[in-house]
Structure 1
Amino acid sequence: MVSVIIPAAGQGRRMQAHHNKVFLMLAKEPILVHTLRQFAEVEDVGECIVVVGKGEEKETFELLKSASSVHSLPDCRIVTGGEERQDSVWNGLQVVSPDADIVLVHDAARPLVTPAIIGRVIRAARRTGGAVAAVPVKDTIKVAGDDGNVASTPDRSTLWAVQTPQGFQKDLLVRANEQAIADGFRGTDDASLVERLGMPVELSLGSYENIKITTPGDLIIAESFWKARQEADDIRVPEGRGLRA
């Protein structure tokens, strides 16, 4: 069984909102509901743990109760988040079902994920122990020196923009978090914790549409993608870059 942890405790400062951004509306429904609906379509997903900010538990419960009367949503448990995202994921891990063999972590603010992306990450995590959704970068990247000048230009063919979901064998993710806590390490994503253990993390094909809604402009882009989905498939990325289905 697959358990999904949805960190949803962000304050939405860059959204210029006075409310948690996952409650904002996208195509007439809250962002969080859009996200959960995608996981409801994946057969392997058996539970979902939504980690929210302190004081948002009741509002989230009422939101999901109302949405479940209209849409098919995964079985959800609501957990209070921590000071930072890593703390919130750890709180979610504490209540993961003992029957789960794979744990996915997915940003609540990525509502344009698809069941196909989720399925690929699950299969890759079962195959190698850890996997992340990702796409090749399209821009040239520069490494800056301390003086503000360009220090180097890495080969773009080796660079990938990492997204979520990120999936791991449950015991591995727990061990990676325990080690990070012991070392006082703060990672920028869940995969970085696993990488510190010397374990492989496979790149799994994501989508350029699978954006994280962080700013007001992102919400406009997401609205456009969402409307276009009725007539077009996900934007394709170049094949032959070493990824497997």
Structure 2
Amino acid sequence: MKTIVLLLAAGSGKRFGSDIPKQYLDVAGEALILHTLRSLSVEPRIQAVLPVLAPHDERFRDIVAGQVFPFELIAPITGGKERSESMMRGLQAVPESFELVAVHDAARATPSAALLKDVLDQAEAHGAAVPGLAVVDTIKQVADNGQVVSTLNRGTLRAVQTPQVARRDWFIEAVRREADRLAEHTDDASLLEAAGFPVMISQGDVNNRKITTQHDMHWLEQRLTGQREDESMGMNLRIGQGFDVHAFARDRALMLGGVRIPSELGLAGHSDADVLIHAICDALLGAAAMGDIGHHFPDNDPAYKGIASGKLLVAVMRDVHAAGWHIVNVDATVIAQKPKLAPYIQSMRQSLADLMGVSFERINIKATTTEKLGFTGREEGMAAQASVLLTA
């Protein structure tokens, strides 16, 4: 679908503590807003960007002079005092030929290619989507006097980001329905929700951080500088390895890679004991420097009793993506004397690709024996090892 970005850049910089609006401050050698525009340029479906600026803003024109982008940079329009007003004015200026409108904060300089792809995919499929991150801290609702009223279920909470994307006609109708309450909506998703339109959550990214404070700017400077150093040295990659072992047990299903394998014996364990998925989880967590599977899913926690390991893999992938990492490839080996696994390799590859949200070609699985040596050779159990390559 033909997509345009409303780039909201009408802030004055007063809350940031600068005479110059933060979007125009130099970071890693150039204005923050240029980093934002370059990040948006990696998504081919973005065909135009419409900047929404403060009155009498001449800095933007000077900063983008001579710059070349793969999308059309439409002549800026003037925004309002509040974000909602800027968004409404931008929406009114969007040409009718565009089907999707993505509203993005200029102060979020580093939306990843994966984040942009996922939010546009979700918006195309469902009509509206916003990137969101799982909330990791316990959230308390408090009264005006500071007393705790309740503890919210963080499993149902998401911290949302931009770009927030919806069909152009949905945004227009939402603005019409909520015209008297626009200022009450702190983001574009809440406007859509109040107007009765469903909004999906796509995958967010911890590195898609809104620059609000001096500390945030320092973080961005370090990230962009470090990213350039890594790229110049070919080091924006991380490798992880994982290993797992489970003993055979009767009256248990044998699960490998999320696929049930015909066998008289299964594997003993607190979960479904999918030794292959456990090794891959450890490799992913290792590559992302996030510890190991036992730390994230303790084997004495009743919440994980009998759980399908595929659910653990999905949770690990969510955390890895949230940290800004994406899979290049996975190579894994199952070590077992029996049963013969060759007939199930392709099914396991497809199952893992589906669970991890990557293409089939990025997953490789091998099976081998130990020539009857060791505990696997004595048919006492199975082992698996995995290597994962991640990129930022």
TM-score normalised per structure 2? 0.58
Q: Which moved further from structure 2: 172-181 or 103-112?
A: 172-181
Counterparts in 2 of 1:244 and 1:192: CA distance versus 1, 3 Å:
farther
User: Is 1:162 aligned with 2:163?
Assistant: no
* Correspondence for 1:127 among 125, 128, 132: 125
> Aligned to 1:219, what secondary structure does the other structure show?
helix
**Counterpart mapping for 1:1-245 below 5 A:** 1-56=2-57, 58-68=58-68, 72=69, 74-77=71-74, 78-183=76-181, 186-229=184-227, 230=230, 231-232=235-236, 238-239=316-317
Opposite residue 76 of structure 1, the aligned amino acid is L
Structure 1 unaligned blocks of 5 or more: none
> Aligned to 2:122, what secondary structure does the other structure show?
helix
2:114 and 2:157 map into 1 onto residues whose CA distance is: 22
Shift of 1:244: 7.7
Opposite residue 118 of structure 2, the aligned amino acid is R
Shift of 1:176: 0.8
Shift of 1:66: 3.4
Q: Which moved further from structure 2: 213-222 or 37-46?
A: 37-46
Number of residue pairs the alignment of both structures matches: 241
Kindly indicate whether the alpha-carbon contact (under 8 Å) linking 2:140 and 2:151 is maintained by their aligned counterparts in 1.
yes
For residues 28-70 of structure 1, the C-alpha deviation after alignment (integer angstroms, 9 at most, x for no partner) is 11111110112222111111110010010x32122111333xx
Kindly indicate whether the alpha-carbon contact (under 8 Å) linking 2:175 and 2:182 is maintained by their aligned counterparts in 1.
no
Structure number with greater CO (CA < 8 Å, separation at least 6) is 1
2:223 and 2:70 map into 1 onto residues whose CA distance is: 22
Counterparts in 2 of 1:185 and 1:109: CA distance versus 1, 3 Å:
closer
2:211 and 2:186 map into 1 onto residues whose CA distance is: 17
Counterparts in 2 of 1:172 and 1:145: CA distance versus 1, 3 Å:
same
1:209 and 1:86 map into 2 onto residues whose CA distance is: 25
Percent of matched pairs sharing the same residue: 32
Kindly indicate whether the alpha-carbon contact (under 8 Å) linking 1:7 and 1:107 is maintained by their aligned counterparts in 2.
yes
